[in-house]
A and B are shown apart, each in its own frame.
Chain A
Amino acid sequence: MILVYINSSNGISKSSYESISYGKKLGDVIALTNGGASSDDLASLGQYGASKVLVDRKINGDDQQQLTKLIASAVENNSVKTIVFSHDLVGKSVAPMLSVRLKAGLVSGAISLPDAEGCVDVNVFSGKALGKVKVNSEIKIISLLPNSIQPEENGSACPVEEITADTGSPSIKVLSTKKPEGEIPLPEAELVVSAGRGLKGPENWAMVEDLAVSLGAATACSRPVADIGWRPHHEHVGQTGVAIRPNLYIAIGISGAIQHLAGVNGSKVIVVINTDPEAPFFKAADYGIIGDAFEVVPRLNEAVNKFKAS
C-alpha cells in the first residue's frame, strides 16, 4: 500500500495531485491529510488515483511532531510500504522525522519514479547535477519535487474517512500567520516571470506583473532585488532563496549569476531578456532577447494578449 500525505491547509494544490499520480504508479494509494479542507475537495483526490482519503480533523498541522505521529499511525494501520510527500514545508520537516520514527530511508527532492533497481533520481548540487538514490530499508519515503511529473486524471471521487490518531498535545503554539493571498505558490507555478536589478526600481514592476497576469504566471525576483526590499523575500529564487522548476521561466534584467541559476536551472524553458549581450544568463537560455526591458516587456505582453485572444 502507498500512503500519500496531502498538505490541504490552503486547499488541494496541484502538487497534491502530482503526489497522488506519482503514488498511483507505484501501487494502490491511500491519501492522508488533516485539518479543515472540505470533504468534496478531498474526494477529488480520487480522480487522480486515491482509493480513499483519511482525514484527521483535530490536527491543524502546525506541530511537526503531531503530524509525524499521525502519519506513523496511518502507516502502521494500513501496512504501508511507501510514503509519498510533496517536497514542500512538510516534505522538508515531517518526512525526515518520520524517517527516524519508522527507520525508513528518505529520498528528498525526487524528480523521477523508481527505476527497475528501485533507484530514484534527485537534484543535487543545487540543481547542477543529478544523483541516483537507492533506499535500503523495507519502508521507503519519497519527497517529490513539485512540477516533476504531470498529474493524471483517470478516476472518480473517492470516499473520505475521518480518523483520529493519538498524537498528544502540540508543543508549538502559533502566534500569528500571514497566509498567501490567492496567488500561485512559486514552487508550484508552471509559468514564472522574474525580474532583477535591470528594472532600476520597484516602481517599474507593474509591467512584470502585467505580463505575469496575462500569462497566468507567478512573479519572482533575483536576490539583490529582495535584499534591497524592492520585492518580498518569498519571491527570491536562487541558491539562498526558493528553487523552482517551472515549464517556463522568463528572466528580465537578471544577469544570471551562478547562484541565481542554481535556483532555476530545473526550468524546462528559459527566456532571457537583457540589454547586455554578454550576460551569462544567455548561456543557460533557450530563447534570448537583447533589448531594453522597458520596450520588450510591454511588447511581449501585447503579443501574449493577442495570442490568448486568438
Chain B
Amino acid sequence: MKILVCISKAPDTTSKIAFSEENTKFDENGVQFIVNPYDEWYALVRALEIKEAGGGQVTIITVGGAGDDAIIRKALAIGADDAVRVDSEAKDAYYTAMQISSYAKENNYDLILTGKETINYNGSQVAGMIAAELDVPFVSLASKLDVNGSTLTVEREIVGGLQVVELNAPAVISCAKGMAEQRIPNMRGIMAARTKPLNVVAAQEIENLTEFVSYALPNAKSAVKMIDPENMDELVELLHKEAKVI
C-alpha cells in the first residue's frame, strides 16, 4: 500500500507562547519545534505498521521552508521511506491542503493520513480539504485503522461514542489517539534518515482564503482564592453568588 503521511511543524507542547511584529507573528525565539504529535504518534506510526504488515511505501509530506528539514529528518528516522517538502510557508489550511493535493494527484496514493489537528492552529481542516480536492472519502478522528487489500476498516470517534465504518481505498483519514503508540527513533534509524531522499518541490500558486491578522494572549487569571477544606458551603456560595456558574 502506498501511503502519504502529512506532517506539520509545531512548537513543543511546553513552549512559551509569545508573538512578535505587533502581535502578527508567532515568536519563534527560543522555541523548540517538533513534529505535530498527532501526525507523528498516530498517523506516521500507524502507516509504518501497515507497511510492516503488508508491504508498501510510506512517504511524508510537509509544506514549509528549509527550517522544516529537522522535523522531516525526525520523521524519516522513525521509519518513513522518503519525504517531500513543498517549498513555501504554509499560509493557511486551504493553501497547505491544495499544495499537498496537487502533489498527491501526480503520485496516486492508496491512503493519505494526517493527525486530527495541529497543536498550534487546532483547525482540523487540512485532511478534509485534501479529501474534497481529490474527491475521495474522508474519515475523521479515527482511533483504529485496519487494511485488508483495498478495504479499510476504521473506528472513529462520534460524540461520546465510537463507530466502526468500512470503505475502499483511496481515502483520507485523520488520526486520533488509539491509532498507534509513539515510537522513539533508534540510532540506526537516525543514521539511515540522513541519506533517505528528501524531495523539495516548488509550490503552486494558491489564493489565500483566510489569514490570521493578529494574535493575543488570554487575559491573565486573577489570583486563586483559597477556600477552607472544612467549609464547602462557602465554595458553593461563591460559585453561586460571585462566579454565577451554579
> Chain A interface (Cβ within 8 Å of chain B)?
10, 62-65, 68, 88-89, 92-101, 103-109, 117, 119, 123-126, 128-137, 171-180, 183, 185-187, 190-191, 215, 233-234, 236, 239-241, 243, 247-248, 258-259, 262, 265, 268-269, 271-272, 282-292, 295-296, 299-300, 302-304, 306-307
Contact = CB atoms under 8 A, between A and B. Distances in A.
B208 A136 contact: yes
Interface in B223-242: 224-230, 232-233, 235-240
B123 A68 contact: no
Given A107-B210, A108-B124, A131-B214, A92 B141 contact: yes
Interface in B23-73: 37-38
Given A175-B165, A179-B161, A291 B229 contact: yes
B138 interface: yes
A101 to B, nearest CB: 6
Nearest to A249: B245
28 contacts: A64-B131, A64-B137, A64-B140, A93-B128, A93-B174, A99-B129, A105-B209, A108-B93, A108-B123, A129-B218, A130-B216, A131-B212, A131-B214, A131-B216, A132-B214, A134-B210, A134-B212, A176-B163, A191-B245, A234-B157, A234-B160, A243-B122, A286-B221, A287-B239, A295-B229, A296-B232, A303-B235, A306-B233
B159 interface: yes
Nearest to A265: B218
Contacts of A286: 221-222, 224-225, 243
Contacts of A285: 221, 224
B166 interface: yes
A68 B132 contact: yes
A133 B243 CA distance: 30
Given A133-B210, A248-B245, A265-B218, 18 more contacts: A88-B159, A92-B116, A92-B141, A97-B129, A97-B131, A108-B124, A125-B11, A125-B120, A129-B218, A132-B215, A179-B160, A179-B161, A259-B13, A268-B245, A287-B224, A299-B230, A299-B232, A303-B232
B219 to A, nearest CB: 10
B191 interface: no
A251 B7 CA distance: 33
Nearest to B26: A125
A239 B162 CA distance: 20
A210 to B, nearest CB: 14
Contacts of A296: 229, 232
Contacts, number: 273
Interface string B137-159: 11111010000000001000111
B178 interface: yes
A98 B135 CA distance: 12
Of B135, B161, B239, chain A has the most CB atoms within 10 Å of the CB of: B239
B235 A99 contact: no
B226 A290 contact: yes
Interface in B201-219: 207-218
A106 B213 contact: no
Given A175-B166, A290-B229, A295-B229, A233 B178 contact: yes
Nearest to B133: A100
Contacts of B207: 136
A186 B160 contact: yes
Contacts of A243: 122
B132 A241 contact: no
Contacts of A306: 233, 236
B221 A284 contact: yes
A291 B231 CA distance: 11
A93 B222 CA distance: 37
Contacts of A268: 243, 245
Contacts of B138: 64-65, 93, 97
Contacts of B243: 248, 268-269, 286-287
Of A95, A174, A190, A240, chain B has the most CB atoms within 10 Å of the CB of: A240
Contacts of B162: 177-178, 234
Contacts of B222: 286
B167 A172 contact: yes
